[in-house]
Amino acid sequence: MAEQTLVIIKPDAVQRQLIGRIFSRFEDKGLKLVAAKFMQISEALARKHYAVHTGKPFFEGVVRYLSSSPALVVVLEADGVIEMSRKLMGKTFGNEAEPGTIRGDFGASRGFNLVHGSDSPESAAYEIGLYFCPDELVQYDLGNKDWLYGQND
């Protein structure tokens, strides 16, 4: 199975009606969608999501932010999906992100950053497990996978 990652299109992106424009970046890259939920993330779930940051000065703020409004939570799959999706997102905050990235094109905030993406296979497994049961991950082949992921050998 190819690598998987969790991506969250966060409350600020939802409120700014950017879901389609942001998600199309991942689709345009050829990353395969295997699960999706539009949901209100509870404060308890946000605390679990950001548990590695417990006790840090920004912890309470990010918990409030993630649970403040609905979000689109998805699992994407491809070889190297974590690195590719993080490059698509850009640096953490829009005021520092390069043009051409999601955060660089749509973000200016130093506090809200539009999207989340897992930073390692270990965090992806943990985060996917927070939001999805294994039977919610749909396995299928993309019809154009050879053209997307093929090699010219």
Q: Which runs of E-coded beta strand occur in the chain?
A: 4-9, 32-39, 71-77, 115-117
Token readout for 13 is: 């992106």
Tokens 């749509």 locate to 106
Question: What residues contact residue 56 under an 8 Å CB cut-off, 6+ apart?
Answer: none
The Cα 14–Cα 153 span in angstroms is: 42
Alpha carbons within 13 A on the beta-carbon side of 133: 2
Closest listed residue to residue 11, CA positions, set 104, 114, 89? 114
Active site residues: 116
